Amino acid sequence: MSEPTVIAVGHPLLDVSAGWDLLVRGQDADLRGEVVRIELASGRVTYTTLPTLLSDGVVAFIADADRAIVRPIVEVPGYQVPDGQPARELSGLLSRGGLVIPGPKPGQLWVDSSTAGHPKMSLINMDGVSAGVPMPVSMPIPAFVSAESGTSPQPDGGGYVLIGGPSGTYDVRPDGVRKITSGKVVAAGPTGWLAVECDAAQRCVNVVIDRVDFARRVLPGAAVATSQLGVISSDGSTAAIAEDAGVLSLIDLNTGAARPLDIEVGSAGTEWGGVVWSPDGRWLFAVGADSRLRVVDVHARQISELPIPLPYVAQVAVGLASR
């Protein structure tokens, strides 16, 4: 595997001073790709070549301070990209197929560890070994999650698992399952969820639900129409949602106001790394349908692109700063 290539821009990018890096997974039509770590505070950019992925389906792309993982959901090789080192194949519980979802702490992941008739996920670290001490931490998945029902686990925005069932949407943790809403969760984040709920006459409203106490607040405005799970900023003020027309919109979770952006999202939409927030909520990064990365200054309401060479972008992630 070839050594990474490093360039120095010579100045900070996006006025970021410290704390977090931006990571991009690039992929061309032949599934050849690379991972780009952008250290925004220093202007240092590292390009690491990836082996050709043997799948064009869903791929988990999760970043940490010293590495990123790239793992297809199907059972083909995935890769770990240590910062400053060549990519290498994943090991341990990460070496096989199945869902991977970010865990409750940096560097932790939930992976599919189901056995026959017993669906569950286990908490591991980025090396593919148990993150539990001394025993693995496992999380049973309710029996109503099945291919027949069309449901599958998704990130709940706070390090656990979100699932849809026959009578609503649920949050799953090792200590149990709690119903979030009788409707559909359309965006998730650290502070809670945005759901669409409808009455018997199919009159629908947007509802903000708090993660801590499950307090509910109905928002004014038209109900969100989307088939994808959006992302909520860390302060809980705004949801970024790919509406059914393919346009990315920002929903103010205080007023209910919707602001469409001049961005048509790519095939990843807002799910699985198509759109991510910066930790401070100032920046939104979105993969466009043209495989170019858009940078949204949410406060200034401006859209731009980074002034560095980037490949065709498939996914984007945010991780702790590597230095």
- What's the pTM value of the predicted model, to 2 decimals? 0.93
What is the per-residue pLDDT for 148?
45
Half-sphere exposure at residue 186, Cβ-oriented, CA atoms within 13 angstroms? 26
- CATH among 2.130.10.10, 2.40.37.10, 3.30.9.90, 1.20.1050.10 for 5-320: 2.130.10.10
Q: Are 247 and 261 in contact (CB under 8 A)?
A: yes
The DSSP string of 137-161 is EEEEPPTT-STTTT---EE-SSSSE
Question: At residue 16, does pLDDT exceed 50?
Answer: yes
Q: How far is the C-alpha of 297 from the C-alpha of 13, rounded, in Å?
A: 13
Alpha-carbon distance values, 145 to 7, 142, 165 (Å): 46, 6, 7
Q: What is the tens place of the pLDDT at every residue in 49-94?
A: 999 888 878 899 999 999 999 999 898 999 999 999 999 999 888 9
Structure tokens given for 10: 């010579």
Question: At residue 155, does pLDDT exceed 90?
Answer: yes
Q: Which residue from 205, 164, 222, 166 is spatially nearest to 188, judged by alpha carbons?
A: 164
Number of C-beta neighbours around residue 88 at 10 A: 12
Q: Edge-to-edge strands of the sheet including 59-63?
A: 59-63, 67-72, 79-82, 88-89
What is the per-residue pLDDT for 147?
46
Which residue blocks in 32-156 are alpha helix, DSSP H? none
Q: What is the tens place of the pLDDT at every residue in 171-222?
A: 999 988 999 999 999 999 999 999 999 999 999 999 999 999 999 999 999 9
Q: How far is the C-alpha of 283 from the C-alpha of 204, rounded, in Å?
A: 30
Question: Which of the two residues, 96 and 187, has the higher pLDDT score?
Answer: 187
What is the per-residue pLDDT for 291?
93
Q: How far is the C-alpha of 114 from the C-alpha of 71, rounded, in Å?
A: 18
Instruction: Specify the DSSP class assigned to residue 198.
Output: E
Give the pLDDT band (50/70/90) at residue 133.
low
Question: At residue 131, does pLDDT exceed 80?
Answer: no
